[in-house]
Amino acid sequence: MDHFFNPRNVGELPNPDGVGRVGNPVCGDVMKMEIKVADGRIADIKFMTFGCGAAIATSSMVTEMVKGKTLEEAMAVTNRTVAEALGGLPRAKLHCSNLAADALHRAIEDYRSKAAGSQ
Amino acid sequence: MREVYLDHAATTPVHPEVAELIQEYLVRTYGNPSSLHRFGRRARAALEEAREQVAEALGAEPEEIVFTSGGTEADNLAIRGAALAHGRPGHIITTRVEHHAVLHTCEALEETGFEVTYLPVDRHGRIAPEQVAEAIRPDTVLVTVMLANNEVGTVQPLAAVGEICRERGVLLHSDAVQALGQLPIDVGQLGVDLLSVSGHKIYGPKGIGALYVRRGVRLSPLMYGGGHERRRRPGTENVPGIVGLGKACELAVRELAARARTMREMRDRLVEGIQARIAEVVLNGHPTERLPNNANLCFRYVEGESILLGLDSKGIAASSGSACTSGALEPSHVLMAMGLSHELAQGSVRFSVGRLTRAEDIDYVLEVLPPIVERLRNMSPLYAERGRARQAGSPPGEG
């Protein structure tokens, strides 16, 4: 609940290194994560979410979990670890945690493909 | 913390006079109405008085009232009871915006060979009576159309549907659970053969309802047991619940005009107040043909449940028909049938005022709600993208 009422890392980054946007209004949630990467680690991360309370809380939790972590560590974050970190989610809300992890992974992939392209 | 209850369409507090009467029939007048002795006779008398009170509220005869466990059972008894009495598969007509007690009952009948026509509605959630006329077939057994919608409060042109059904000799059922206590109901004027009501929406207890069955209508029971309720609904009568429903009906009729006026005033104060304070809010349902207690609003770019959580944290109770709560991840079937986009339908919140709602309650909501919506919009990617689209000079997308 705290992550819903006081979400961490809400917003957008100036010139993000990677952007991940998942979901659509049809399925009920839209999440966007933006990352700044330095020395192979997530130096900064911000999110924007359209969705229910659980969607907002999982987004916030993911950003806290991976800030300062290496990209490999961040890629290892799964839907389950996010839900566990929040103390469990009701069954109907599990898809929200899926989206949060997916958005993060998408942002990292975006960063990696941009990095590969600029080499 | 200050608490404001604006979810009367979900349920209402039991009226003190009703509660007092229920207590009497729980503790002192506890006889079984089927018993011969004085204890039984007292309970029987109370049961029949309640039947008269319910009949009076619907413009029916007492013997046309069957007590049930609530609105859902009344809907089931009407639809399945009529289908069973028909004896073979046939055709049923209903609308896409019915309560699940009707929709899922119709779907279950489809599994047994019935064919069901689900009439589409206009953007206000209304059907046109001609749609019913066009859909009636030689094998149509029953038409079931709600009197007023539980989510958006839209009132259907039921009397016109009733005229068509009478002309064509087809049974008409109506779920009037939300309408009772808010609109005057007269089964003769509406031309219905079956009509469902519930106690807990009208300041009566939960677990009690009634089905009006026009004299002469053939209906098979759904359960078997004793010969209670003219063999239509077996089981020892829920006397405390029934006297509670009777009293609640009596009060609802007596106070109908005053309650409707209060509710309409409070509802309008809320809607106008919200529209003055928050941009891009859409009022769902019919602008005039709606229940006096209902305000169903879409707050663009945010999701309904997150607004409810914010309101709940401030002591305000409202509801959403939205996705996550049902576990189905589908937005409200009513709003979708009205043609709303998924994005908009996800952002709907239903406020339903009651007979005791006061201006201070509404003003508290008007103070608390705008910052909740603003906070959620500020973290919504859809809101940010819409802002950018505007700056870039392109029209905002529908999402």
Give the tens place of pLDDT for each residue, A51-60: 888 889 999 9
Indicate the average pLDDT of chain B: 94
* Whether residue A5 has pLDDT greater than 60: yes
In the numeric block, which tokens belong to residue B172?
């008409």
Compare all CA atoms of chain A with the CA of B320 and give the residue at the minimum distance. A52
Task: Please report whether residue A118 resides in a domain.
Answer: no
User: How far is the alpha carbon of A119 from chain B, nearest alpha carbon, in Å?
Assistant: 31
pLDDT tens for each residue of B292-312: 999 999 999 999 989 999 999
Q: Using CB atoms, pick whichever of B306, B329, B382 lies closest to residue A56.
A: B306
B351 part of contact set with chain A, CB < 8 Å: no
Closest CA relative to residue B233, chosen from B76, B88, B41, B83: B76
* d(CA A36, nearest CA chain B) in Å: 18
Contact B324 A31 (CB under 8 A): no
pLDDT band with cut points at 50, 70 and 90 for residue B342 = confident
Domain edge (last residue) among B200, B220, B254: B254
ipTM for the whole complex? 0.89
Strand blocks (E) in chain B: 4-5, 65-68, 91-95, 115-119, 140-144, 171-175, 194-198, 209-213, 281-284, 294-299, 316-317, 348-352
Domain shared by B152 and B283, yes or no:
no
Give me B147's structure tokens.
Answer: 């009197």
d(CA B382, CA B285): 24
Is the pLDDT at B396 greater than 70? The verdict is no
When CB atoms are compared, the residue of B329, B378, B381 closest to A32 is B381
**Token match 């005053």: residue?**
B258
B106-132 pLDDT, tens digit per residue, is 999 999 999 999 999 999 999 999 999
Q: Which residues of B touch A26 (CB under 8 A)?
A: 342
CATH number of the structural domain spanning residue A78: 3.90.1010.10
Tokens of B206: 């939960």
DSSP B81-100: HHHHHH-S--EEEEETT--H
The answer, yes or no, to whether residue B325 has pLDDT greater than 60, is no
Residue A26 belongs to some domain of the structure: yes
| pLDDT value, residue B306 | 92
Residue B393: per-residue pLDDT: 59
Residues 6+ apart with CB under 8 A from B39: B29, B30, B31, B32
Task: Say if residue B32 is in the same domain as residue B174.
Answer: yes
Chain B from 288 to 327: CB within 8 A of any A CB? 301-303, 305-306, 309, 313, 322-324, 326-327
Judgement on whether residues B239 and B268 belong to the same structural domain of the protein = no
> Helix (H, G, I), strand (E, B), or coil: what is residue B129?
helix
**A34 interfacial to chain B (CB closer than 8 Å):** no
Domain shared by B108 and B197, yes or no: yes
pLDDT at residue B75 tops 70: yes
A vs B, Cβ pairs < 8 A, gives 71
- Considering only B212-216, B227-231, B344-348, B360-364, which range has the smallest mean pLDDT? B344-348
Copy the structure tokens of residue A11.
Answer: 């917003």
Q: Contact, B216 vs B207, CB < 8 A?
A: no
CA–CA separation, B291 and B268 (whole Å): 12
Q: What is the CA radius of gyration of chain B?
A: 22
Candidates B388, B307, B145, B50; CA nearest to A56 is: B307
What's the total number of domains in chain A? 1
Look up the CATH number of the domain holding residue B307. Answer: 3.90.1150.10
Contacts of A29 in chain B (CB under 8 A): 303
What pLDDT is recorded for position A34? 97
Mean pLDDT of B317-338: 74
Q: Torsion angle, CA of B251/B32/B29/B252, rounded to 10 degrees?
A: 0
Residues from chain B that touch A21, judged by Cβ atoms under 8 A, are 381
Q: What pLDDT does B323 receive? A: 43
Is there a contact between B239 and B46 (Cβ–Cβ < 8 Å)? yes
pLDDT at A119: 64
* Structural domain includes residue B197: yes
User: Is the Cβ of A5 closer than 8 Å to some Cβ of chain B?
Assistant: yes
Residue B329's pLDDT band (cuts 50, 70, 90) = low
pLDDT of B265 higher than 60: yes
Q: Which of B209, B231, B254 is the C-terminal boundary of a domain?
A: B254
Tell me the sheet residues that pair with B349: B297
**B187 vs B326 pLDDT, higher one:** B187
Task: Report pLDDT for A118.
Answer: 75
Residue holding tokens 């319910």? Answer: B54
| Residues A108, A71 contacting (CB under 8 angstroms) | yes
The neighbour count for residue B138, using CB atoms within 10 Å, is 7
Contacts 24+ apart (CB under 8 A), B32-35: B32/B236, B33/B236, B33/B237, B33/B239, B34/B226, B34/B228, B34/B236
Least confident of A98-107, B43-52, B241-250: A98-107
